[in-house]
Chain A
């Protein structure tokens, strides 16, 4: 009877809301450390939110990049703020500026190239919760509009999210479950490797998360390299 729908379930709904507030939604996690499921069922390697050091890496027989070049995308209106923008210098060329620890990348004989020119996209994303599909869709749009260069074998797009931008990945939350991650998507432009770095109030931690995810993108671009 439809009438029951209007009365009884409301109490159940309140109970569910309370329960939902008490217990976080359950999210599946892969068995491997520092891995999460993304939004279409694959695994992605993350930098944990606490930046805890990763265990020594082992090789899993898959692809490793032979050279890596950063293409930074500063995404979100928060980057329009002059003070925030001051961070860009230290982030936009992690290999060329020497600010990032890429020693493991170099020790694996991966050539680290000076970064390509950065791209600013100051869209107002402050009222949006982005997920990995949104990032993929935006990269696709930017490639189709020539806002970013067609990737070559060395390209890793590093998407720096502006403060105030909320990000989730397979139901997990940036800042809580991860500090950065890297992934790969196949678009009309080909294989697109990318790193996503949510904003961190602590500039040093922000840079550390970015550098680590960038390095892991080079070492483990498609999930079967060094990790």
Chain B
């Protein structure tokens, strides 16, 4: 055993360092036919097998075309038995064992055993494939290179035509046994055996109804005995009957298993074990019986445990927490299903292994059933003393033991796996830890091997008619607000909130999805002073809508203040002190030749009748909080130009940044704008709030005929 376990460990670690392409994958071409998940899989008669030879199968004409997802009858719907010599084998990258068999004339054909991990759970071949794979593993170690052998075998398998593409050992017509359902090495010396399958292996029956499945047995290796069938693991309120209860010798046949489900039977999925015994051999198979509520309106059953078969491997046991060495794929303790199991203890020294997974059982659960498969083997010989034990516990999330469901020991040793079931309905509404403690004493090992867990919980499946609740949590109802106010809303729902909305005065202002809180910064200056309403709404997936109470607030923003940013807007400080204006020489003037708009002084740009440029500039800062900013001035233009079409002399008004870069040209005036008096010009400069800007006037005159641009009473009023 220790050697096998060592190999197991090495293989497991080697997988960690292997390139990803070496990790197992499943095939593509005709994969459903190769593994029994095709729609014709039920046509395969598992109740009988037909002896044949390699030569006979090679003589069957290949179909044309070969259907990609269906079977060609009868070759592909028959279980064939061939006695031949196994000559080559290899692990393909699609996880198949590629096995070449040869007859005495050297005729070859391919037989393949898929990896059980690549076989869908609905395949009627699954348990047989698992069996064949395990038997092959016990004889050989297949690698990614062909290895040769020379060993008599009896192979039981389903016919399958593959596409010819140069496969090693392929028959000329592409016929294979794929999948192999059983392989017997040295058949003349082997104990006769049989295989059992269930079709379907999963069955759904409503309360108060009944359903059936077929149990088939196929013999191999010269088996010749009647096979007795029985069931165990039935949930309460369910009865099972087998017809017939025994398959007559030599053991090929089938039986109908009928379930009658009482209206009081609990809903959920239950694994019923079918046991077949004959010729001193016992095999078991599982039928997953799903009981649904009468009328189809009953509960929804959910399996809560993650990684229930430990198929994530030893490197990623989560959500299980396991002590070192527990997660196992050693052939020494093969799994119940898949490739991995949890092997607790088995050291033969004082040792404790643990295995735990935490789950939350819904408070509305109508049933909660924990099941798992357990195999116990031991070197203890006592039939009375429990030296090594496995405790099945339910703990709370802090690790306190709430209940010990059962304690197994070396006294419970068995030859295969047996399913164990426990009712956890009493723990509904709690987060619990399913905990296993395997304790071994100082000598004689006991191995507790667990696999294929399920924690099936049934909850009522009712239409969600409960609307979410929504509330506005800020501001408070009746509050007086001003400026920018944060509006907060929250929501909740029995299932889940899918959307939230905030409405102010009936207008949607904010929304989100799949959240239970919503916040919005409301600038109250955008609305009139007075009463305003705030409402939150919440939606769920069923379309239910919850509306909050209406929150009424009073917006009370003070009267806006307006301030003047331009200093010395009328230029009344005179020519000697124009600041904060920056002007070219002669601009600030009190000449009577050009009257001021008001006061005595003004800015007189140009008017020379020669090529000339005058400028006037003042820098201001427009507050970030400004709600309005308006530049205005009075302008008088007189000119000696006579053209009514050509702008010879121009006054440009620009907004520049503090370094003089032009941000915007607000207007250009010219000799064409001449008028007898002043005219007020206004420009909205609110967009420059938060910036330092220069108000820049530039008058450019050409070489002849003067134009005077006379500015006065410049203003930049800001409201905030």
The 8 A CB mask of B111-137 against A (1 = contact, 0 = none) is 000000000000000000000000000
A5 & B9 in contact (Cβ 8 Å cutoff): yes
Residues of B within 8 A of A39 (CB): 25, 27, 92-94
Shortest C-beta distance, B350 to chain A (Å), equals 10
Residues of A within 8 A of B191 (CB): none
The 8 A CB mask of A8-33 against B (1 = contact, 0 = none) is 11001100110010000111101000
Residue in chain B with minimal CB distance to A25: B144
Task: Indicate whether A2 sits within 8 Å of B10 (C-beta atoms), given known contacts A39-B94, A170-B93, A186-B163.
Answer: no
Residues of A within 8 A of B90 (CB): 28, 41
Answer whether residue B98 sits at the interface, using C-beta atoms and an 8 A cutoff: yes
A42 & B167 in contact (Cβ 8 Å cutoff): yes
A6 & B20 in contact (Cβ 8 Å cutoff): no
B347 & A186 in contact (Cβ 8 Å cutoff): no
Residue in chain A with minimal CB distance to B34: A40
Task: Indicate whether A13 sits within 8 Å of B14 (C-beta atoms), given known contacts A1-B348, A2-B445.
Answer: yes
A2 & B325 in contact (Cβ 8 Å cutoff): yes
Answer whether residue B138 sits at the interface, using C-beta atoms and an 8 A cutoff: no
Answer whether residue A51 sits at the interface, using C-beta atoms and an 8 A cutoff: no
The 8 A CB mask of B314-339 against A (1 = contact, 0 = none) is 00000000001100000000000000
Shortest C-beta distance, B72 to chain A (Å), equals 14
Shortest C-beta distance, A137 to chain B (Å), equals 5
Residues of A within 8 A of B5 (CB): 2, 4-5
In the bound complex, CA of A66 to CA of B8 (Å): 52
B347 & A3 in contact (Cβ 8 Å cutoff): yes
In the bound complex, CA of A30 to CA of B22 (Å): 19
Shortest C-beta distance, B609 to chain A (Å), equals 61
**How many chain-A residues does the 8 Å CB contact rule pick out?**
49
| A70-78, A89-97, A128-136, A155-163 - interface stretch | A128-136
Answer whether residue A168 sits at the interface, using C-beta atoms and an 8 A cutoff: yes
B30 & A186 in contact (Cβ 8 Å cutoff): yes
In the bound complex, CA of A163 to CA of B324 (Å): 41
Shortest C-beta distance, A227 to chain B (Å), equals 11
Answer whether residue B68 sits at the interface, using C-beta atoms and an 8 A cutoff: yes
Shortest C-beta distance, A188 to chain B (Å), equals 5
A8 & B6 in contact (Cβ 8 Å cutoff): yes
B92 & A9 in contact (Cβ 8 Å cutoff): no
Contact of B17 among A5, A17, A27, A42 (CB under 8 A): A17
Contact of B2 among A4, A30, A128 (CB under 8 A): A4
Of B2, B26, B345, most buried by chain A (CB within 10 Å of CB) is B2
Shortest C-beta distance, B631 to chain A (Å), equals 48
Contact of B9 among A9, A27, A187 (CB under 8 A): A9
B21 & A136 in contact (Cβ 8 Å cutoff): no
Residues of B within 8 A of A13 (CB): 9-10, 13-14
**How many chain-B residues does the 8 Å CB contact rule pick out?**
49
Residues of B within 8 A of A149 (CB): none
Shortest C-beta distance, A45 to chain B (Å), equals 9
Task: Indicate whether A188 sits within 8 Å of B69 (C-beta atoms), given known contacts A6-B324, A13-B13.
Answer: yes
B28 & A133 in contact (Cβ 8 Å cutoff): yes
Shortest C-beta distance, B535 to chain A (Å), equals 44
Answer whether residue A185 sits at the interface, using C-beta atoms and an 8 A cutoff: yes
Shortest C-beta distance, B490 to chain A (Å), equals 38
Residues of B within 8 A of A42 (CB): 165-167
B68 & A184 in contact (Cβ 8 Å cutoff): no
A40 & B19 in contact (Cβ 8 Å cutoff): no
Answer whether residue B96 sits at the interface, using C-beta atoms and an 8 A cutoff: yes
Shortest C-beta distance, A37 to chain B (Å), equals 8
The 8 A CB mask of B375-404 against A (1 = contact, 0 = none) is 000000000000000000000000000000
Answer whether residue A43 sits at the interface, using C-beta atoms and an 8 A cutoff: yes
Answer whether residue A177 sits at the interface, using C-beta atoms and an 8 A cutoff: no
Answer whether residue A171 sits at the interface, using C-beta atoms and an 8 A cutoff: yes
Residue in chain A with minimal CB distance to B143: A26
In the bound complex, CA of A137 to CA of B93 (Å): 14
Of B27, B93, B98, B346, most buried by chain A (CB within 10 Å of CB) is B93
A171 & B93 in contact (Cβ 8 Å cutoff): yes
Residues of B within 8 A of A133 (CB): 25-28, 93-94
Answer whether residue B146 sits at the interface, using C-beta atoms and an 8 A cutoff: yes
Residues of A within 8 A of B66 (CB): 186
B347 & A1 in contact (Cβ 8 Å cutoff): yes
B2 & A140 in contact (Cβ 8 Å cutoff): no
In the bound complex, CA of A119 to CA of B239 (Å): 58
User: Is chain B's interface secondary structure helix, strand, loop, or mixed overall?
Assistant: loop
Answer whether residue B168 sits at the interface, using C-beta atoms and an 8 A cutoff: yes
The 8 A CB mask of B653-697 against A (1 = contact, 0 = none) is 000000000000000000000000000000000000000000000
Shortest C-beta distance, B326 to chain A (Å), equals 10
A2 & B347 in contact (Cβ 8 Å cutoff): yes
In the bound complex, CA of A186 to CA of B65 (Å): 10
Shortest C-beta distance, A198 to chain B (Å), equals 13
In the bound complex, CA of A71 to CA of B325 (Å): 51
Answer whether residue A223 sits at the interface, using C-beta atoms and an 8 A cutoff: yes
Contact of B29 among A131, A185, A223 (CB under 8 A): A185
Answer whether residue B542 sits at the interface, using C-beta atoms and an 8 A cutoff: no
A129 & B20 in contact (Cβ 8 Å cutoff): yes
B2 & A1 in contact (Cβ 8 Å cutoff): yes
Task: Indicate whether A5 sits within 8 Å of B166 (C-beta atoms), given known contacts A41-B92, A133-B28.
Answer: no
Residues of A within 8 A of B347 (CB): 1-3
Task: Indicate whether A223 sits within 8 Å of B166 (C-beta atoms), given known contacts A12-B10, A129-B21, A136-B29.
Answer: yes
Answer whether residue B413 sits at the interface, using C-beta atoms and an 8 A cutoff: no
Contact of B21 among A43, A171, A222 (CB under 8 A): A171
Answer whether residue B232 sits at the interface, using C-beta atoms and an 8 A cutoff: no
In the bound complex, CA of A2 to CA of B28 (Å): 39
Shortest C-beta distance, A130 to chain B (Å), equals 8
Contact of A187 among B2, B17, B28, B324 (CB under 8 A): B28
Residue in chain B with minimal CB distance to A42: B165
Answer whether residue B349 sits at the interface, using C-beta atoms and an 8 A cutoff: yes
Residues of B within 8 A of A128 (CB): 20
Residues 157-208 of B at the A interface (beta carbon under 8 Å): 163-168
In the bound complex, CA of A193 to CA of B506 (Å): 62
A6 & B28 in contact (Cβ 8 Å cutoff): no
Residues 170-227 of A at the B interface (beta carbon under 8 Å): 170-171, 183-188, 222-223
B21 & A131 in contact (Cβ 8 Å cutoff): yes
Residues of B within 8 A of A37 (CB): 168
Task: Indicate whether A223 sits within 8 Å of B93 (C-beta atoms), given known contacts A131-B21, A185-B28, A186-B30.
Answer: no
Residue in chain B with minimal CB distance to A224: B164
The 8 A CB mask of A116-141 against B (1 = contact, 0 = none) is 00000000000011111110110010
Of B1, B19, B30, B98, most buried by chain A (CB within 10 Å of CB) is B19
Shortest C-beta distance, A211 to chain B (Å), equals 23
A129 & B19 in contact (Cβ 8 Å cutoff): yes
A2 & B2 in contact (Cβ 8 Å cutoff): yes
Shortest C-beta distance, B561 to chain A (Å), equals 55
A137 & B28 in contact (Cβ 8 Å cutoff): yes
In the bound complex, CA of A191 to CA of B10 (Å): 41
Answer whether residue B145 sits at the interface, using C-beta atoms and an 8 A cutoff: yes
B68 & A2 in contact (Cβ 8 Å cutoff): no
Residue in chain B with minimal CB distance to A43: B166
In the bound complex, CA of A17 to CA of B14 (Å): 8
Residues of A within 8 A of B283 (CB): none
Q: List 13 A-B contacts (CB under 8 A).
A: A2-B445, A4-B5, A5-B325, A8-B6, A12-B10, A26-B144, A27-B144, A40-B96, A41-B90, A42-B167, A133-B25, A134-B25, A186-B30
B residues in contact (CB < 8 Å) with A? 1-2, 5-6, 8-10, 13-14, 17, 19-22, 25-30, 66, 68-69, 90, 92-94, 96, 98, 110, 144-146, 163-168, 324-325, 343, 345-349, 351, 445
The 6 A-B residue pairs whose C-beta atoms are closest, nearest first, are A43-B166, A42-B165, A39-B93, A168-B21, A136-B28, A2-B347
A residues in contact (CB < 8 Å) with B? 1-6, 8-9, 12-13, 16-17, 20, 25-28, 30, 35, 37-44, 128-134, 136-137, 140, 166, 168, 170-171, 183-188, 222-223
- Give me 11 other A-B pairs in contact (C-beta within 8 A), A42-B165, A223-B166 excluded: A1-B347, A1-B348, A2-B325, A6-B9, A20-B14, A20-B17, A28-B144, A39-B92, A41-B168, A133-B26, A133-B94
